[in-house]
């Protein structure tokens, strides 16, 4: 069952950069964010929430943010920050996949910390011990959304809260409830006017054009 045009408008409004809505670079960046939020960010938060229903569970969320010198997946140059799976060479200490030279020394340092975090978690179920490591990785809470940002200059300030709070609120709370309400109202819809039909076709055409623009810039990336 497809989404109604009202829901398409909602998503379009949520992921439009209203400071520069017609800029082609803004459009492709926002579409990339939409795909990432819907397919990775929101599902990760949903899984963490479900896992926390167990009284014995301990969740540790992270956000790997820097763009490494060697990317795991082929990535357009206009996409800022890391891509999917870019943290894997860091996590497993694959130094041959990390950058060399002083300008990339942060990669070795970050990888060393990540290896300790993951080894600690395997040993104890807690990334912070038995081997001490700074910064301390906070345990995830549904109320405060604690997480650790794995970044170039990782420090005590890298521990944060409300991880993906806005995106999770939209995809896990707002969107499903509104979609259910729209679907319910549409079970016995009034006869649409000619203006409504034209508007619906315009929305679908706009969505198609945005998709085509995204494909075009992927194929013509720098």
**Amino acid 3: pLDDT:** 66
For the whole prediction, is pTM greater than 0.95? no
> Is 99 in the same domain as 158?
yes
| pLDDT tens per residue across span 49-83 | 999 888 888 899 999 999 999 999 999 999 999 99
> Is 80 in the same domain as 156?
yes
> Is 157 in the same domain as 132?
yes
Least confident of 4-18, 91-105, 186-200: 186-200
> Is 140 in the same domain as 81?
yes
Give the structural domain span for 127. Answer: 62-162
> Is 140 in the same domain as 78?
yes
Number of domains present in the structure of the chain: 2
| pLDDT tens per residue across span 16-58 | 999 999 999 999 999 999 999 999 999 999 999 999 888 888 8
**Amino acid 182: pLDDT:** 85
Cα 124 from Cα 133, distance rounded (Å): 14
């Amino acid at each position: 069952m497809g989404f109604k045009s009202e829901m398409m408008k909602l998503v379009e409004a949520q992921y439009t950069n209203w400071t520069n809505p017609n800029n082609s670079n803004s459009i492709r960046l926002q579409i990339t964010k939409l795909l990432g939020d819907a397919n990775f960010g929101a599902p990760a938060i949903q899984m963490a929430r479900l896992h926390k229903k167990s009284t014995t569970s301990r969740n540790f969320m992270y956000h790997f943010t820097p763009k490494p010198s060697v990317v795991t997946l082929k990535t357009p140059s206009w996409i800022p920050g890391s891509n999917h799976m870019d943290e894997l060479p860091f996590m497993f200490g694959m130094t041959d996949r990390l950058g060399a030279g002083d300008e990339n020394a942060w990669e070795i340092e970050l990888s060393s910390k990540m290896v300790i975090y993951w080894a600690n978690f395997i040993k104890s179920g807690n990334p912070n011990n038995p081997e001490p490591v700074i910064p301390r990785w906070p345990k995830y809470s549904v109320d405060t959304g604690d997480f650790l940002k794995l970044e170039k200059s990782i420090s005590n300030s890298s521990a944060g809260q409300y991880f993906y709070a806005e995106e999770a609120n939209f995809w896990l709370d707002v969107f499903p409830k509104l979609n259910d309400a729209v679907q319910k109202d549409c079970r016995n819809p009034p006869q649409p006017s000619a203006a409504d039909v034209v508007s619906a076709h315009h929305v679908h055409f706009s969505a198609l054009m945005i998709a085509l623009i995204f494909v075009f810039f992927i194929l013509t990336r720098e």
